[in-house]
Amino acid sequence: MSKNDYLFTSESVSEGHPDKVCDRISDGVVDAFLAADPEARVACETLTTTNRIVLAGEVRGPAPLVDAKGNVDKDRIEQIARECVKDIGYEQDGFHWETASVEIHLHAQSADIAQGVDASGNKDEGAGDQGIMFGFACRETEVLMPAPIYFSHEILRSMADARHSDADAGIGPDSKSQVTLQYVNGKPVGATSVVVSTQHAEGLSQEEVAAIVMPHIKHVLPEGWMPPREEIYINPTGKFVIGGPDGDCGLTGRKIIVDTYGGAAPHGGGAFSGKDPTKVDRSAAYVSRYLAKNVVASGVADKCTIQLAYAIGVSHPLSVYVDTHGTGSVDEDKLSKILQELVDLSPRGIRTHLGLNRAIYARTAAYGHFGRQPDGDGGFSWEKTDIADAIKGAF
């Protein structure tokens, strides 16, 4: 089989997956702090297990969220956690928004970290940590995302919408999907298999669950892309009643491939959720996607990978790497220079250009941070293609 003819698989998980519950709570805390102070600092990690939620990390923000001594308003943080779980839909004996135990272990941000990150005198604000971040875009879908992860997300999003509207009352919040696509001459032409596992009400048979799930698969996949029925695996274990944090411990930041490109592109390793936008793990990954998407949208390449690298406390990127995978019609070194002229890639420049100091992060916690539609309030601003014409014009 040539490199242009192959099968490729990506998976997604729903908002009720234990790790995604944690991402949602951590990002709920980020939103609360940024709503109170756009310059607030948050690094919040969450753990969930059977009827227990534990939050830990470092924060810096205004009263009443944090007092003069650095003590966090634990009652408000607990309320945020419960609201997030309620919105997801957990009202089960083993995990309930109202009865779960909530522990708060957030404390003031390290002075040593603040010293490196904060602007002072002639020193511009530095990156919140060292690291490498990747962005990617391609022409496989209208939103310029790889098709396997895009369709994996859309199946679960369709199921979640139906569950929240009570159209599919028999399924629960916790679910996973996996889509395998066949590529011919480097382009996806159809699905060879689909896997969906979803939590469901006690007493539903595997066949009854399949009858609920199948319409969502058919609705999402393009016409003619459905695999044979024997290659569609719905709840292959036969039963999935105990789910969510009651069935498996959850942690923030444990689904980074689901959050990005489903394995179709490199990942720098840093998670997004729970981090304010001074953390380049988040903001630089967003701007990398923004640059890559605009490159593809401009028409100068059909596929683009961008890597940025940073050092803690240093304001400028150490490297800006551009790879158009042989699909580009322009010089990549010149393209890299043009992108740096169009967008200030310092931490402050990224946040300013994309408007990231806003309460826009809880909505990113499930169904991917990329391939979404920009919101009117600034959410998913990194999905705009507003510099595509400038890129094209430069050549």
Instruction: Name the binding residues for Mg(2+).
Output: 19
In the chain, the amino acid numbered 93 is D
Q: Are strands 187-200 and 232-234 parallel, antiparallel or unpaired?
A: parallel
Return binding residues for ATP. 17, 174-176, 239-240, 248, 254-255, 271, 275
Q: Angle between the 280-298 and 347-354 helix axes, to the nearest 10 degrees?
A: 60
CB atoms < 10 A from the CB of 99, how many?
Answer: 10
* Closest among 59, 46, 57 to 105, alpha carbons compared: 57
Structure tokens belonging to residue 63: 């009263």
Return binding residues for K(+). 45
Structure tokens belonging to residue 356: 């990231």
C-alpha Rg value of the chain to the nearest Å: 22
Q: Are 212 and 168 in contact (CB under 8 A)?
A: yes
| Cα 339 from chain centre | 24
CA distance 44 to 106: 7
* Closest among 14, 48, 322 to 153, alpha carbons compared: 14
In the chain, the amino acid numbered 319 is S
Return binding residues. 17, 19, 45, 58, 109, 174-176, 239-240, 248, 254-255, 271, 275, 279
Residue 110 three-state SS: coil
Q: Are 85 and 52 in contact (CB under 8 A)?
A: no
Q: Are strands 52-60 and 303-310 parallel, antiparallel or unpaired?
A: unpaired
Q: Are 385 and 294 in contact (CB under 8 A)?
A: yes
Structure tokens belonging to residue 115: 């010293």
CB atoms < 10 A from the CB of 236, how many?
Answer: 10
Structure tokens belonging to residue 230: 């024997």
Structure tokens belonging to residue 152: 């994996």
Return binding residues for L-methionine. 58, 109, 248, 279
| Cα 297 from chain centre | 21
CB atoms < 10 A from the CB of 68, how many?
Answer: 6
